[in-house]
Amino acid sequence: MRSIFRRGLLLSGLGLLTLTAQAQTAAATKVNKADSVSLRKIYDEALLRGQSYENLRYLTSQIGGRLSGSPQAEQAVQWGKTTMEKLGLDRVYLQEVMVPHWVRGAKEKAEIKPAKGKGLEMNVCALGGSVGTNGKIKAQVVEVKSWAELAALRDDQVKGKFVLFNRPMNPTFIETGQAYGDAGDQRRNGAIEAAKRGAVGALVRSLTLAHDDFPHTGTMRYDEKVTKIPAAALSTNGADQLSQLLKADPGLTFELEMACETLPEVKSYNVVGEIKGSKYPDEVIVVGGHLDSWDLAQGAHDDGTGCVQSIEALRLLNAAGLKPERTVRAVLFMNEENGVRGGTKYAELAKAAGEKHLAAMESDGGGFTPRGFNIEAPAATVKKVQQWQPLFRPYGSTEFKAGHSGTDIEPLKDQAKALIGYDCDDQRYFDIHHTAADTFDKVNRRELELGGASMASLIYLMSKYGL
Amino acid sequence: MRSIFRRGLLLSGLGLLTLTAQAQTAAATKVNKADSVSLRKIYDEALLRGQSYENLRYLTSQIGGRLSGSPQAEQAVQWGKTTMEKLGLDRVYLQEVMVPHWVRGAKEKAEIKPAKGKGLEMNVCALGGSVGTNGKIKAQVVEVKSWAELAALRDDQVKGKFVLFNRPMNPTFIETGQAYGDAGDQRRNGAIEAAKRGAVGALVRSLTLAHDDFPHTGTMRYDEKVTKIPAAALSTNGADQLSQLLKADPGLTFELEMACETLPEVKSYNVVGEIKGSKYPDEVIVVGGHLDSWDLAQGAHDDGTGCVQSIEALRLLNAAGLKPERTVRAVLFMNEENGVRGGTKYAELAKAAGEKHLAAMESDGGGFTPRGFNIEAPAATVKKVQQWQPLFRPYGSTEFKAGHSGTDIEPLKDQAKALIGYDCDDQRYFDIHHTAADTFDKVNRRELELGGASMASLIYLMSKYGL
Judging contacts by C-beta atoms under 8 Å, the chain A residues touching residue B206 are: none
Report yes or no: A431 at the B interface, CB cutoff 8 Å.
Answer: yes
> Nearest-CA residue of chain B relative to A6?
B181
pLDDT at A15: 35
Specify the pairing of strand B108-113 against strand B253-258.
antiparallel
Euclidean distance between the first and final Cα of chain B, in Å? 45
pLDDT tens-place string over residues B252-273: 999 999 999 999 999 999 999 9
Q: The complex's ipTM?
A: 0.92
CA distance B194 to A88: 48
> Nearest-CA residue of chain A relative to B43?
A172
SS3 of B452, please?
helix
SS3 of A138, please?
strand
Report yes or no: A340 at the B interface, CB cutoff 8 Å.
Answer: yes
DSSP assignments along B418-440, one per residue: EEEEEEE--TTHHHHTTSTT--G
Among B11, B336, B337, the residue with its CB nearest the CB of A181 is: B11
pLDDT at A115: 86
CA distance A12 to A19: 11
Report yes or no: B16 at the A interface, CB cutoff 8 Å.
Answer: no
Query: C-alpha distances in angstroms, A389 versus A22, A23, A358, A385, A458?
Result: 9, 12, 19, 7, 9
Judging contacts by C-beta atoms under 8 Å, the chain B residues touching residue A365 are: 1
Per-residue pLDDT, averaged over B212-234, amounts to: 98
pLDDT at A31: 58
Short-list A270, A271, A242, A275, CA closest to A256: A242
Give A76 to chain B, closest Cα distance, Å: 18
Q: Does the distance separating the beta carbons of A7 and B175 come in below 8 Å?
A: no
Continuous segment of H or E residues that includes residue A447:
helix A445-465
Chain B interface mutation, best of A5, A6, A7, A441, highest count of B Cβ atoms under 10 Å: A7
Q: Does the distance separating the beta carbons of B10 and A403 come in below 8 Å?
A: yes
pLDDT tens-place string over residues B361-398: 999 999 999 999 999 999 999 999 999 999 999 999 99
Q: Does the distance separating the beta carbons of A398 and B7 come in below 8 Å?
A: no
Give B344 to chain A, closest Cα distance, Å: 14
Does the structure show a pLDDT above 60 at B453? yes
Q: DSSP alpha helices (H): ranges in A50-88?
A: 52-57, 71-85
Q: DSSP alpha helices (H): ranges in B153-262?
A: 155-158, 176-183, 185-196, 236-248
Judging contacts by C-beta atoms under 8 Å, the chain A residues touching residue B395 are: 174
Q: Are B49 and B319 in contact (CB under 8 A)?
A: yes
Q: Does the distance separating the beta carbons of B303 and A11 come in below 8 Å?
A: no
pLDDT at B115: 86
Report yes or no: A364 at the B interface, CB cutoff 8 Å.
Answer: yes
Q: Is A202 exposed, middle or buried (0-12, 13-18, 19+ CB in 10 A)?
A: buried
Euclidean distance between the first and final Cα of chain A, in Å? 45
Q: Does the distance separating the beta carbons of B336 and A2 come in below 8 Å?
A: yes
pLDDT at B129: 98
Chain A interface mutation, best of B376, B427, B428, highest count of A Cβ atoms under 10 Å: B427
pLDDT at B28: 42
Q: Does the distance separating the beta carbons of A336 and B396 come in below 8 Å?
A: no
Continuous segment of H or E residues that includes residue A137:
strand A137-144
Short-list B141, B153, B230, CA closest to B190: B230
Judging contacts by C-beta atoms under 8 Å, the chain A residues touching residue B371 are: 396
Give B124 to chain A, closest Cα distance, Å: 20
Report yes or no: A341 at the B interface, CB cutoff 8 Å.
Answer: no
Find out whether the peptide bond into B182 is cis, omega within 30 degrees of 0: no
CA-based radius of gyration for chain A: 24
CA distance B312 to B315: 5
Give the total residue count for chain B.
467
Does the structure show a pLDDT above 60 at B428? yes
Report yes or no: B219 at the A interface, CB cutoff 8 Å.
Answer: yes
For chain B, percent of residues with pLDDT exceeding 90: 93
Judging contacts by C-beta atoms under 8 Å, the chain B residues touching residue A427 are: 369, 444, 446-447, 450
Q: Does the distance separating the beta carbons of B410 and A3 come in below 8 Å?
A: yes
The strand ranges marked E within A210-325 are 231-234, 253-258, 261-275, 280-290
pLDDT at B116: 86
Give A394 to chain B, closest Cα distance, Å: 8
> Nearest-CA residue of chain A relative to B211?
A445
* Regions of chain A short of the pLDDT cut 70: 1-31
Task: Classify B133 in phi/psi space as left (phi over 0), alpha (psi -120 to 50) or beta.
Answer: alpha
pLDDT at B8: 35
Q: Does the distance separating the beta carbons of B401 and A2 come in below 8 Å?
A: no
Q: Does the distance separating the beta carbons of B4 and A184 come in below 8 Å?
A: yes
CA distance B127 to B137: 16
Give B353 to chain A, closest Cα distance, Å: 27
Q: Does the distance separating the beta carbons of B174 and A43 come in below 8 Å?
A: yes
Per-residue pLDDT, averaged over B69-73, amounts to: 98
Residue of A336, A355, A376, A449 marked active site: A336
Per-residue pLDDT, averaged over B8-14, amounts to: 33
Please give the backbone phi and psi of residue B129, each rounded to the nearest 5 degrees, phi first: 100, -10
Residue of B336, B362, B376, B449 marked active site: B336
Per-residue pLDDT, averaged over B112-141, amounts to: 96
Q: Are B424 and B368 in contact (CB under 8 A)?
A: yes
Short-list A328, A355, A342, A312, CA closest to A409: A342
CA distance A467 to A357: 11
Model pTM?
0.93
Per-residue pLDDT, averaged over B171-183, amounts to: 96
Report yes or no: A383 at the B interface, CB cutoff 8 Å.
Answer: no
Q: What does the CA dihedral A447, A453, A458, A459 come to, rounded to 10 degrees?
A: 130
Judging contacts by C-beta atoms under 8 Å, the chain B residues touching residue A400 are: none
Instruction: Respond yes or no: is residue A325 known to be catalytic.
Output: no
Query: C-alpha distances in angstroms, B26 versus A109, A238, B189, B386, B394?
Result: 54, 44, 48, 11, 12
Judging contacts by C-beta atoms under 8 Å, the chain A residues touching residue B401 are: 14, 18
pLDDT at A16: 35
Q: How many Cβ atoms sit within 10 Å of the Cβ of residue B78?
A: 13
- Give A 36-55 residues with CB within 8 A of chain B: 43-44, 47-48
Judging contacts by C-beta atoms under 8 Å, the chain A residues touching residue B210 are: 445
SS3 of B106, please?
coil
